[in-house]
Amino acid sequence: MTELLLLFCAYLIGSVPTAVWVSKGVFGMDIREYGSGNAGATNTFRVLGPKAGSFVMLVDMLKGVMAVRLSYLLSYYHNPDHLTQLVNFQIGLGLAAVVGHIFPIWANFRGGKGIATLFGLVLAIQPLVAICCVGVFMLSLTLTRYVSLSSITASIAFPILILYIFNEPEVFYRIFAIAVALMVVLTHQKNIFRLLNGNESKVPLFRNRRERK
């Protein structure tokens, strides 16, 4: 019963519609009515710029971290003999937050794709893997300025890191990593088509010298 309550709390944490509240509270508009229509960091970057996008991404990541941290309320799971159960429950909490992000109760169940919250989940469970994924994401973003492509690239790097670089022994976590990569690719189908057609919007990370002058 306690586990179910914590899973519900994780869903509520994930339901915090960061992009919607920022767009309405600061810019006086609903981010879901512009760009791709998603209430996530990628669309916020595209529509409102890198500052707002970075803030939304950071908060959405923290939602995943906070959801996983709920597991510390159950001392039973932190017994060394229950490490597998702990990791499984933490993944469940993180996924509940992702579901909340995608279908937020606070925003009429119209949210984003959950990429940043998924990253927060990984950051809370395996920080080193998360840092590597950030490195892949930032390298891709710097080279291409496509947030969507960078998200896809980082998500594909995730199972590669888990399976081959860090050789994670937990079977459920290995399956989870593969599922994450597949889910991200599937949820970015429209972005992939736009990338192939050359219609995907780039993020203006850096202004050139002429613009500075």
Report how far residue 179's alpha carbon sits from residue 193's, in angstroms, rounded to the nearest whole number: 21
Residue 130 and residue 53 share a domain: no
Q: Please indicate, yes or no, whether residues 4 and 65 belong to a single structural domain of this protein.
A: yes
C-alpha dihedral, 86 to 87 to 92 to 97, nearest 10°: 110
Does residue 140 sit in the same domain as residue 97? no
The count of structural domains within the chain is 2
Same domain, 80 and 46: yes
25 and 84 fall within a common domain: yes
52 plus 132 within the same structural domain: no
| Closest among 142, 112, 117, 133 to 203, alpha carbons compared | 142
- Averaged over 17-21, what is the pLDDT? 96
Q: What is the mean pLDDT of residues 196-213?
A: 64
Alpha carbon distances (Å) from 203 to 41, 47, 200, 208: 11, 9, 10, 13
What pLDDT is recorded for position 77? 62
How do residues 99-114 score in pLDDT, each as one tens digit?
999 999 999 999 998 8
More confident residue, 34 or 212: 34
23-37, 144-158, 193-207: segment of lowest average pLDDT: 193-207
Structural domain harbouring 111: 1-117
- Report yes or no on 176 lying in a domain: yes
> Binning pLDDT at 50, 70 and 90, where does residue 149 land?
very high
Token digits of residue 19: 């992009």
CA distance 107 to 109: 5
pLDDT band at 80 (very low <50, low <70, confident <90, very high): low
Do residues 71 and 106 both lie within one domain? yes
Do 11 and 54 sit in the same domain of this protein? Answer: yes
pLDDT digits (tens, 9 = 90+) for 52-62: 999 999 999 99
Q: Give residue 76's pLDDT.
A: 67
Last residue of a domain, which of 117, 143, 169? 117
Show which of 117, 143, 164 is a domain's final residue: 117
| 78 has a pLDDT exceeding 80 | no
* Mean pLDDT, rounded, for 16-33: 96
Q: pLDDT-based confidence at 154, cuts 50/70/90? A: very high
Average pLDDT, the chain: 88
167 phi-psi bin (left φ>0, alpha ψ -120 to 50, beta other): left
What pLDDT was estimated at residue 211? 42
**110 found inside a domain:** yes
